Amino acid sequence: MSTIDRDISGVTRDRGEGNLERIRIQSDLASAEIYLHGAHVTHFQPRDSAHPVLWMSKSSVFKSDKPIRGGIPICFPWFGPKADDPKAPAHGFARTRDWTLESVQHGESGAILIAFNIKSDEATKRLWDADFAAHYLVSVGSELSVHLSVQNLGLNLIRFEEALHSYFVVGNAQQTEVRGLDGASYLDRLRPAATFKQDDQPIRFAAETDRTYINTDAMTTIIDPVLDRRITNRKVNSNSTVVWNPWIAKAKAMADFGDDEWPGMVCIETANAGPNAVELPAGQQHSMSAVISVENG
Ligand code: BG6
């Protein structure tokens, strides 16, 4: 295990599951882990929190050509299946690329900032014809903040979708509520070709749930009476929020998701997807962030 920078104590670079490269943070404020594969945050736990915030499947695969199941996969440049190519990898290629570690620095209020990037190349252009650079900044403090920015380096306008696909630990999904999306419109992958409206009640989980709330930048709060905590997700420049729990049959159908794990997680994803896809003119940059915090008791 080697220290990344003598000045940044508590940050180490090692090889984790599947021998993939990983950054580990053990600070006074929190512990965290990030794989360079996908720039994938797989762990975050503030010091005063009794449980991890991010959920990881025990069945996750850690291989260079497969996405990690849990944590925060980065979905880019499309969300779900690619509209014009159903054979292209689901949720884009960012989550299966090895990102370059750019820097590790001290941030404000004791946070540690870890920056990663990827750039378009022949392989990305075979899947998506665009010249781009993407930067990802992870700030590990008493809160976790993740910031994805995309630069259009080409001569034409580019159109893309993006999601910070956060998996959260909950005591029991069936007793969990998600607040903040009252009145928002949503698309439902289980009932396509229609738009629905969330009523004034919190979202509760009683079956497979796979919704993309659109035209909303609202903060969401996960109310977890079992672990006796609230997790909030604040968003910047994100107009979609995806809410997902696979429930029984879909969990069984996924090879990298344990059959009995679905009650322990919910996904609340900071996104720009579907009608909120980003159109970025040549030479411009677009950024989207999520700030995740926990309140116990
Ligand atoms: C969610 C989608 O964001 O991700 C679901 O809304 C999908 O439809 C889920 O099943 C997991 O996707 P994947 O590609 O990681 O299995």
Mean pLDDT by runs of 10 across the 297 residues of the chain is: 61 97 97 98 98 98 98 99 95 98 95 98 98 98 98 98 99 98 98 96 98 98 98 98 98 98 99 98 98 96
Place of tokens 């900032």: 113
Residue 49: its pLDDT value, please? 97
Centre of ligand 1 from the C-alpha of residue 28, in Å:
34
Span from the CA of 165 to the centroid of ligand 1 (angstroms): 9
Q: Kindly give the distance from the C-alpha atom of residue 48 to the centroid of ligand 1, in angstroms, as a whole number.
A: 31
Kindly state if the Cβ of 268 falls inside 6 Å of ligand 1. Answer: no
Instruction: Report how far residue 116's alpha carbon sits from residue 136's, in angstroms, rounded to the nearest whole number.
Output: 5
pLDDT at 2 (0 to 100): 41
Ligand 1 atom nearest to 69, measured from its CA? 15
User: Quick one: how far is CA 161 from the chain centroid?
Assistant: 13
Amino acid at residue number 254: M
Q: What gap in Å lies between CA 98 and CA 120, rounded to an integer?
A: 12
Q: If you measure from the C-alpha of residue 69 to the centroid of ligand 1, how many angstroms do you get, rounded to a whole number?
A: 10
What pLDDT does 26 receive?
Answer: 97
Residue 254 CA: nearest ligand 1 atom is 16
With b meaning 16 or more CB within 10 Å and e meaning fewer, what string describes 132-170? bebbbbbbbbbbbbbbbbbbbeeeeebebbbbbbbbbbb
Q: Please tell me the distance from the alpha carbon of residue 119 to that of residue 232, in angstroms, as a whole number.
A: 31
